[in-house]
Chain A
Amino acid sequence: MIRLKNVSKMYGPGIVGVKNVNLHIRPGEFVSIVGQSGTGKSTLVKLLIAEEAPSGGSIQVGGWEIGRIRDKDVPALRRQIGVVFQDFKLLPKKTVYENVAFALEVAGAPGRRIREVVPHVLRIVNLAGKEDRYPKQLSGGEQQRVVIARSLVHRPKIIVADEPTGNLDSIHTREIVDIFRKINEFGTTIVMVTHNREVVNALRKRVLTIHAGEIVADHEEGKYLI
């Protein structure tokens, strides 16, 4: 599903994003990536979604080789990976429904499919009835649920979440993690970057610990070590 071999990313001489990362994530896994700020967690996410190109090594995501992916193929890759960010990245001038539908519209999905899929994913994240609200009319947890709904519309095999609970209180954090757990149970691979010790410890899933751009620990049913 995801395989990284000797991957490094340099942002200039001596500025390390990640170095010598070797990693294999199997289909259906739920992997938490933990580590202090500035250790390379977000760089790893950017590499996985082809927002950055690696300086060395090879990254395979699904059938794509990220280091060699052509610009015109990036949209197709992004439609196969659901992406969830800490700062939500919702379009403020679009309603909940429009924000979710947008991911299908840009892919050229017909209107009938959009009318079927959008209410379905909104029900999965418990946002039925709030379709006409704008992002600023929602709580942080609800906004993050819209983002998750948006990431689900293409039925992705992988969801990459970068600090998805970073801006949320403990109640909303639990809601979001429960949704990820539910999605994972359906077979979707989840890669979640987080700082949240309680979340990682409660999940009892695989934990990768990054320090200074390198993976220093990889434990099945791991705990937050740092």
Chain B
Amino acid sequence: MILSTARVVKFAFKDFWRNLGLSLMTISILILTYFSLNLLVIVNFFTDAAIQVIEDRVDVSVYFGPEVSDERVHGVRGNLTSLPEVKDIVFISREEALETFKRNHADEPEILAALQEVGENPLGPVLVIKAKDAGRYGPILEALESPAIKSLVEDKTVQDHRVLIERLTSVTAKVQRAALGLSLVFALISLLIVFNTIRVSIYIHREEIAIMRLVGASSNFVRSPFLIETVLFNLISLGLVAALVFPALNVIEPAARAFFDAEVGVTAYYRDHWMTIFGYQLGAVTFLSLVATALSMRRYLKK
């Protein structure tokens, strides 16, 4: 058993080397397949990142009147926090609101002079509400319309965000549908290419397979070197793609950071999840390659 396994592995490596042209052709097709898959992973990551960046910038600011006490605002905050749609609520006190206002208008002396003239702090406390995702602001806005809260609120930036939120929700769903569709098409094309490449490889080896049968090789003995070679092709292809992906990400990352004006973390994502990402790819493509190999060989393994 050990002897046969060792021979099968030896045949696989020898065949790989002696049919180097065909081996390189198969590897190049597999490289394209793995490259496509990683491109999809990266595109999906950036789509999610883009949506996340925009969602993070969307919030609802609720401005209370200066006469409303912090306790009452905290009470409203407590009510709103209990909503399942709410991710986070930041409380800004009257003093903090004034400081921010002064900072934002530091270059406008007339406004600061007018503020001085008023004498006391004219600003009320503020609640900045973030939903768990952009599609879930509706119930929050409804809650803000309840009479108990509405009577305390002087102004809110809800109206400004409603259109953006609705548009973002719609765009997000469309982008995700398109990405999924594209992924499926890409995966299907890749699989067909891999399947056909392996079929061609087996076809080229058909005489060799016939001779192996003629001299008394069992089906497993005939099949195994080709299956091992298929695994070898996949390991080499994925290894090369992985070796290219990380340097490429190091180039993409700064450009993405500049574009989104935020930390995107695609390199960190790959670094933290490389075993999962490459493991699933290797598992799926190798499995399909092995199925293609076994199916292609079937007709040549008859008596």
Contact = CB atoms under 8 A, between A and B. Distances in A.
Interface stretch (A30-38, A106-114, A125-133, A195-203): A106-114
B227 to A, nearest CB: 16
B7 A103 contact: no
B214 A89 contact: yes
A71 B216 contact: no
Contact of B216 (A52, A79, A93, A110): A79
Contact of B18 (A49, A50, A71, A93): A93
Given A93-B19, A105-B7, A75 B211 contact: no
A78 B214 contact: yes
Interface string B1-45: 001100100000001001100000000000000000000000000
Contacts of A75: 213, 216-218, 221
Contacts of B218: 72, 75, 106
A106 B211 contact: no
B18 A110 contact: no
B303 A150 contact: no
Contacts of A93: 15, 18-19, 208
A137 to B, nearest CB: 15
B216 A106 contact: yes
Interface in A86-110: 89-91, 93, 102-103, 105-108, 110
Contacts of B213: 74-75, 78
B217 A110 contact: no
B216 A91 contact: no
Contacts of B215: 78-79, 102-103, 106, 150
Contacts of B216: 75-79, 103, 106-107, 154
B4 A108 contact: yes
A110 B3 contact: yes
A48 interface: no
Contacts of A76: 216
A105 B8 CA distance: 9
B212 interface: yes
B156 to A, nearest CB: 78
A83 interface: yes
A50 B303 contact: yes
A201 B219 CA distance: 41
A83 B122 CA distance: 105
Q: Is the interface of B mostly helix, strand, loop or mixed?
A: helix
B144 interface: no
Interface in B193-230: 207-208, 210-219, 221
Interface residues of A, number: 27
A83 B215 CA distance: 8
Given A51-B303, A105-B7, A90 B211 contact: yes
A113 to B, nearest CB: 11
A49 B303 CA distance: 9
Nearest to A150: B215
A175 to B, nearest CB: 23
Contact of B221 (A52, A71, A89, A106): A106
A81 B78 CA distance: 89
Contacts of A90: 211
Contacts of A78: 213-216
A108 B19 contact: no
B98 to A, nearest CB: 85
A71 B50 CA distance: 59
Contact of A89 (B4, B18, B210): B210
A77 B212 CA distance: 14
B212 A106 contact: yes
Interface string B167-182: 0000000000000000
A91 B207 CA distance: 8
Nearest to A87: B207
A53 B215 CA distance: 18
Q: Most chain-A Cβ atoms within 10 A of its Cβ — which of B208, B210, B211?
A: B211
Q: Most chain-A Cβ atoms within 10 A of its Cβ — which of B7, B18, B214, B215?
A: B215
Given A52-B303, A71-B303, A108 B3 contact: yes
7 contacts: A72-B218, A77-B216, A91-B208, A102-B212, A105-B7, A106-B217, A106-B218
Interface of B: 3-4, 7, 15, 18-19, 207-208, 210-219, 221, 303
Interface of A: 49-53, 71-72, 74-79, 83, 89-91, 93, 102-103, 105-108, 110, 150, 154
Given A72-B218, A106-B218, A108-B4, 14 more contacts: A74-B303, A75-B216, A75-B221, A78-B214, A78-B216, A79-B215, A91-B208, A93-B19, A103-B216, A105-B7, A106-B212, A106-B216, A150-B215, A154-B216
Pairs A-B, 6 closest by C-beta atoms: A106-B217, A79-B216, A78-B216, A103-B215, A93-B18, A75-B216
